[in-house]
Amino acid sequence: MSHYNGPMPEQLLIGFNARAAASQVAVLGRQVRSRVLWLVVSLVICGALWLWQRSSMTLANTVAMFGFALIYSLVWLVIVLVRWQRAKSTLAAMTPGVAVGIDRTGVWMRDIGIRWSEMAQIWLAHPRAGGSPVLGVRGLDGTVSKIGVMSLDAEVGTIDSAIQAYSGGSWRIDSSKLGN
């Protein structure tokens, strides 16, 4: 087993991981097609049932059957569409280069730099409506920057270790908002 005994690197630079985001866009695109197909199939089945049993179905039964099938399918379709649009916007926002930089002076995230002495909080939290957890930093002046963890080319443990090492042990990622 070899050990590294040289000087500590001057910084950790983390790039964007477009492959994971592109994969998420592809998966959600297939889910959109699946939900549209399910909507069509459920309406065809309801239509077939109505044609078969129309003499014994009341207007209330017909409306309830079509309403339930339509509402259920549309709700899931809207959920998947929203997630798909968010994933596409995340992928479009990825630019070549450095997403997060950590060094002895502080953290840069999306062109916003906050010194360790000016840091108020570093956290990991779930976004409002699904998606990957978000890594965020907040300065004492209220400056906030967030980035989806899925879009980073490093694991959270690596980022947390770098934050602890470069801040001299005074900072680490607060993951309590994840419910851990």
Q: How many Cα atoms sit within 13 Å of 72 on the Cβ side? A: 12
State the chain's maximal CA–CA distance in angstroms.
Answer: 85
Give the C-alpha separation, 125 to 99, whole Å.
18
- Which residues of the chain fall short of a pLDDT of 70? 1-9, 128-131, 179-180
What's the pLDDT score for residue 3?
A: 55
Burial letters 41-73, b for 16+ CB under 10 A, else e: ebeeebeebeeeeeeeeeeeeeeebbeebeeeb
Question: What is the per-residue pLDDT for 31?
Answer: 95
Residue pLDDT, tens place only, 9-31: 688 889 888 888 889 899 999 99
